[in-house]
Amino acid sequence: MHSESEKKNQEKEDRILLAGIEERIRRAEEWYTMTNSRFLDLRQRSLAEIRSRSSGSGITYGFYGGYEDAERVIEVFFPQGMMRADSPQEHFRLVPGENPLTVIRAELKKGTPPPSHRDYLGALMGLGIRREMTGDIIVRDDGADIIVLREAAEFLLLHYVKAGRADLTLSEVPVEELRGIQSDAEEITASVASLRLDNVLSAAFHIPRSRAAEAVNSGIVYVGGICEKKADRQVKEGEKIVLRGKGRARLLSAGEKNSKGRMKITLRRNI
């Protein structure tokens, strides 16, 4: 249970976050320029999505973390007619000079035991870098690629020299040159009574439907980037579902109901 002071602090942080989103929307609209937020976690992304949908502005917005299915993302706001593709990721592939993200590549000397994700993140926090300045940290045996806001890159190249006990050799590379992104996924075929969220969640993550419903009620399930608290919410083909702490899945297809009143669905789950 959260204490009353923790709830008040969270509410204050939420107000600050949403005020920042509104300011970036206003700036994009009035100055006719692309703007972006700092990095958002799942919960913050959900809040930002809801606020952006209800803004009533002519701004086009999207979420971007450097690669498809990034966990930590920024929200990017485009004035009408400025986005040159269907998503920020595709836009920045066409116009890489406008990309607000870059990659700090940390490389290890041969034979150095690789630091953990916690080591890399702890070293960043030790430098006073706020978590909102950094995105996903993609760890490999020979080092790591760290996605950051471009404005933080110069400072990190000068000062981010160690993670755990390992010395780091740093360079800045474009987002397009990211290494080590895990793209392994398993395809799941299942039979469900309906496309209720708890049914689909149960099939995707191999958990009982009762546990799936509990997860939804607990606020740790996101559909299309928004926290969803209704277990009977109908999932549509193509929608992405995130179960915080467990992974993400996408409903690829759903067939017609058979004579027993069940339907075959196909999902892709990241593993």
Q: pLDDT tens digits for 238-253? A: 999 999 989 999 999 9
Q: How confident is the model at residue 62 (pLDDT cuts 50, 70, 90)?
A: very high
Q: pLDDT digits over 136-194, tens only?
A: 999 999 999 999 999 999 999 999 999 999 999 999 999 999 998 866 789 999 999 99
Q: Is the pLDDT of residue 61 over 80?
A: yes
The average pLDDT across 212-232 equals: 96
Confidence at residue 185, expressed as pLDDT on a 0 to 100 scale: 84
Confidence at residue 183, expressed as pLDDT on a 0 to 100 scale: 63
Q: Is the pLDDT of residue 3 over 90?
A: no
CATH architecture of the domain with range 185-270: Roll (3.10)
- Residues forming a β-bridge with 76: 36, 62
Which secondary-structure segment (H or E) carries 234? Answer: none
Confidence at residue 2, expressed as pLDDT on a 0 to 100 scale: 64
> For residues 233 and 100, what is the distance between their CA atoms, to the nearest angstrom?
35
Q: pLDDT digits over 193-202, tens only?
A: 999 999 999 9
Q: pLDDT digits over 98-149, tens only?
A: 999 999 999 999 999 999 999 999 999 999 999 999 999 999 999 999 999 9
Tokens of 102: 């870059």
> For residues 176 and 178, what is the distance between their CA atoms, to the nearest angstrom?
6
End-to-end CA gap in the chain: 31
- Residues forming a β-bridge with 139: 144
Which secondary-structure segment (H or E) carries 263? Answer: strand 263-270
The average pLDDT across 219-238 equals: 96
The average pLDDT across 12-26 equals: 96
Q: Is the pLDDT of residue 48 over 60?
A: yes
Q: How confident is the model at residue 270 (pLDDT cuts 50, 70, 90)?
A: confident
| Torsion region of 94: left, alpha or beta (phi above 0 gives left; psi -120 to 50 gives alpha) | alpha
Q: How confident is the model at residue 69 (pLDDT cuts 50, 70, 90)?
A: confident
Q: What residue segments make up the domains of the chain, in order of their start?
A: 4-96, 101-177, 185-270
Q: How confident is the model at residue 267 (pLDDT cuts 50, 70, 90)?
A: very high
Instruction: Write the class of the CATH domain 101-177.
Output: alpha beta
Does the domain spanning 4-96 belong to CATH 2.60.40?
no
> For residues 269 and 271, what is the distance between their CA atoms, to the nearest angstrom?
6
Q: Is the pLDDT of residue 1 over 60?
A: no
Domains 4-96 and 185-270 share a fold: no
